Amino acid sequence: MAKSISEARADFPILSTWINDHPLVYLDNAATTQKPQAVIDALRDYYTLVNSNVHRGNHTLAIRATDMYEEARAKVARFINAAHPHEVIFTRGTTESINLVAASFGEAFVHPGDEIIVSQLEHHSNFVPWFELCRRKGARFRVLPFTADGELDPEVLKGMFTEKTRLLALNQVSNSLGTVNPLETIIPLAHANGVPVLVDAAQSVQHLAARDVQALDADFYAFSGHKMYGPMGIGVLYAKEYWLEKMPPFLFGGEMIDQVSSVRVTFAQPPYKFEAGTPNVEGAVGLGAAVDYLNSFDWQELEAYEESLLVYGIEQLRAIPGLTLYGNPRRRSSILPFNVEGIQHYDMGILLDTSGVAVRTGQHCTQPIMDALSITGTVRASLALYNNREDIDALTHGIRRVIKMLKR
């Protein structure tokens, strides 16, 4: 029987914390989510009962640690419906996953005069690696702009493809505006033009059931453990077997080799070909526990709950005089970006914290978005499954309090 969303809040110990003499209202989930007790317990149990390095060891602890590490990979593969567990590469996070593709795919397939298309809605981690690859390779860096509503227009994208386009990189959900991009339209369009697609899923796998990489037909799919209730320092790169077999290694060292001599080096098969050195075993175990935790809910119920909470948040924020809510996409997920006229976003964030409300302020690693909007930054409230309407009410009450304080 699926776990009820109404029970979720009790699973997160930190949510009982008080901040500045107020109960914590945590609305900074796009930066990192809090961790359920199940994940905390998994990390503790690994270090107190199992801790050992993985692979090649033939003692009991090494075997147990290896089994846990590889079971975590299998859990992630099932979570995103990868065709094979070896299509799941463990990394430090979304940033490293994207840089791995930029370095490895870029080395093998991008040449002078080629083109890379990146959307204007991207986090810097899915923008700068491609910019630097193009600079290094003498390729052309092209940017797909977003519309006045904060959306990507597939028709504009269609006109950007040429015979020199080597890859399209875009997010599934914008970390800055919350736009849910229509991958079901964009990926087939790219493939029809012979272009592989990398998807930054850092803001989507914890919110959307549409993470089936085979159904999406994504060539690359990257996300982070800490944004989906898992530990920091662990992330995932899914890549189709076809690409993993053709791409050269990203890092060199132990674990990723097959044979080494003074005259020849051969490499292991994926995934180990891309996992040089001692892996983050405890992070993988914690990520596996986070996957189990998310799978304990009915995903249809989870999506509906978060959607209703988002709609409530939009309604309540728009009722505040002088507040601008950025973006008006047809579909939005989890992100509420705003400013209040006459109040600097940084000041708003500091003063909300005095009421125990945690939000993020600034450019959110999306300077191209801020430049397009002609603003220096926003206040960003972002939702998770443990948030509720009382959290939204605390946010809006805090905003009104700040307005009254600074505008009297």
Residues of the chain scoring pLDDT < 50: none
> 116 is written with which tokens?
């890379």
Query: Tell me, what's the pLDDT at 161?
Result: 98
Contact 336, 383 (CB under 8 A): yes
Q: What is the pLDDT of residues 189-239, one digit of tens each?
A: 999 999 999 999 999 999 999 999 999 999 999 999 999 999 999 999 999
Tell me the DSSP string of 165-225. EEEEEEESB-TTT-BB--HHHHHHHHHHTT--EEEE-TTTTTT-S---HHHHT-SEEEEES
Please give the single-letter amino acid code of residue 202: A
Which DSSP state fits 5?
A: G
Contact 287, 269 (CB under 8 A): no
Contact 85, 95 (CB under 8 A): no
C-alpha distances out from residue 324 to 187, 327, 331, Å: 32, 9, 18
Contact 27, 33 (CB under 8 A): no
Distance CA 46, CA 51 (A): 6
Residue 8 CA from chain centroid, whole number = 21
Helix (H, G, I), strand (E, B) or coil at 116: strand
> 368 is written with which tokens?
């191209």
Q: What is the pLDDT of residues 232-271, one digit of tens each?
A: 999 999 999 999 999 999 999 988 998 999 999 999 999 9
Please give the single-letter amino acid code of residue 192: A
167 forms beta bridges with 116
Residues with active-site annotation:
365
Residues 6+ apart with CB under 8 A from 155: none
Domains of the chain in sequence order? 5-29+297-407 (3.90.1150.10), 41-295 (3.40.640.10)
Look at the pTM and tell me if it is higher than 0.85. Answer: yes
Query: Tell me, what's the pLDDT at 407?
Result: 74
Distance CA 212, CA 269 (A): 24
Residue 382 — φ and ψ, nearest 5°?
Answer: -135, 140
Please give the single-letter amino acid code of residue 128: V
215: left (phi over 0), alpha (psi -120 to 50) or beta: alpha
Contact 356, 377 (CB under 8 A): no
Query: Tell me, what's the pLDDT at 408?
Result: 64
Distance CA 253, CA 245 (A): 18
In the numeric block, the tokens 């990979």 are attached to 73
For the four alpha carbons of 363, 366, 370 and 373, in that order, the dihedral sign comes to: negative
> 144 is written with which tokens?
């797909």
Helix (H, G, I), strand (E, B) or coil at 324: strand
Distance CA 256, CA 89 (A): 12
User: How long, in residues, is the chain?
Assistant: 408
Contact 248, 108 (CB under 8 A): yes
Closest C-alpha among 327, 329, 305 to residue 380: 327
